[in-house]
Chains A and B, each alone.
Chain A
């Protein structure tokens, strides 16, 4: 009888999902994935989570509550840092503790500490603790880890390649900024990417660039005097935004931020400032929380895409352009 481990389909599952599932499979555990976020899951999350947390964390609690009854253990890694000199987010650093304290009747947590900022040695030591938690020996764990890393990087490569070919046709191109765990969850993001597509525009997400690319773009800015950001996913968003502002690869930027998100509150301000300085691209900032009404988003998005399309036509006809970037906060 193999160990049944629940994996919440929320937060960094949207980044490391294939790796997590493959690792659990290689270790001989049966992984149970929670369903795509729905109203019941969000409601369950709202009941247990603190009010001040951001929407994706509340949704995570909902997935935990859904899985709690069906599994022997829950896989909730503590993501501290995935690269040197940058962190993820304080809330994700304390996530297993928050789950333990808030979610009633939660089964045993498997919470390896992912902290690459201190070097690989420390990282390996914290991964060793995962062995007993999953009931496997260290050597089997090491093999499982190596195999799942390899499999996950192969999936990531095909994903990146696939998306880049998809964005080559004409029309209005909208750059979409936002954390993967918001954009990839149609319930949280109110299917923002799908809506843009249905309005006849081509969405380009920050997640479609590789981490190396976005870091390189951010670094180009640092040379011009900006301070390096210390949130990994913030760097990705900022790097993509800088790229779009500099090259004009897209015709407008939509930033989907969750209300109460610390990094995004700062990144959004910096992008607004830069867009205003360079007077280059229209920008739409959307804040989401659990009260999101779909009609509100649709209206804003339609108006924004119309504006962007008009602006593009004016550019094409060499007419004077509207002065200020559009900011409908």
Chain B
């Protein structure tokens, strides 16, 4: 069985590590490109949200490389993600692709099916091997999160444009090759050290921008037009609270072990959004509130076009912006997105934010003009 899975940012590194430690022949789908998007859009309904289209494209591209089993997550609503698998199964059949879709549903929607899926993925691995594979995957999850956060915080201070991203690429390649948790930790330290070497002190105060929204769009640089990189190059220190570790903690660990308290975003969002609305709607609002209170200067809110939870968040965010005094810009993403449009909006937003930062910090520390990317 040659197994594959959808892309989501750097998710492929830990997932690949996990599946290969269990003895699977893993096929990583080719990186998401325009071709992926157009293939995906051809096989999915036009009213569906972007993650469905992109993951569909990933599956077909991986099947072209010879994958015959696809690992996908399920769900129990109300977000459309939970029903992706049904549409994808039909779309794969219609596209003449024989790959089998293995859907990992949450255990509470059916223990028997969950056990079946676990048995398929487990193959002949012993419990010890599974634990070892999970430990390695968990270490790699932590590692890619740590690198992402370090890069987001450092990019605005880099001495040579692109040097931080070069360090990142090297670091991620090393982490991909690591076979033990210690090696992973070593590579992370080394890469963080390299990143520190790329930065220089800047004379002006940092413009700190938060990125919130639907998790797939926030974490997949190929579909969000590399928004973190773009903001970093403009000169913003980027804060991105949605990470793999955060997702696993709040959706998997807390789901199984109910006694572990969930990160309480709902209490932050309560004045504006009082109820869970599926997806990451509450997270978008809650994190924006928390960011305003912790002194960030602006928030960029990303959502796939027609995403139901994010439409609720988008409706509420202007209210958050006024009440908490933080500028918020909502951007909807679909397969037709042009990066120039994105650039213009981000530049304008960043210029407004840096003008505000200058006013707050007194005009003496303000540079003559704001940095503009070319």
Chain A residues near B (Cβ < 8 Å): 49-50, 52-53, 78, 80, 85-91, 93-94, 96-98, 100-102, 113, 226-227, 229-231, 257, 259-266, 268-270, 273, 287
Contact = CB atoms under 8 A, between A and B. Distances in A.
B78 A231 contact: yes
Contacts of A269: 44-45, 48, 87, 90
Given A93-B275, A101-B316, A113-B275, A266 B77 contact: no
A295 B77 CA distance: 37
Secondary structure at chain A's binding surface: helix, strand, loop or mixed? mixed
B273 interface: yes
Contacts of A101: 272, 315-316, 318-319
10 contacts: A93-B78, A93-B276, A93-B277, A94-B312, A94-B315, A227-B85, A227-B103, A262-B80, A266-B80, A268-B47
Given A90-B278, A101-B272, A262-B306, 10 more contacts: A90-B281, A93-B78, A93-B276, A93-B278, A98-B315, A227-B86, A230-B76, A230-B83, A262-B49, A269-B45
A270 B245 CA distance: 34
Contacts of A257: 47
Nearest to A81: B78
Q: Which of A50, A100, A262 has the most CB of B within 10 A?
A: A262
Contacts, number: 119
A16 to B, nearest CB: 18
A101 B321 CA distance: 11
Nearest to B305: A52
B30 interface: no
Q: Interface centre among A94, A226, A263, by most B CB within 10 Å? A: A94
Contacts of A264: 47
B312 A97 contact: yes
B355 interface: no
> Most chain-B Cβ atoms within 10 A of its Cβ — which of A53, A86, A268?
A53
Nearest to B83: A266
B221 interface: no
Nearest to B45: A269
Nearest to A95: B312
Contacts of A229: 83
Contacts of B279: 90
Contacts of B305: 52
A94 B80 contact: no
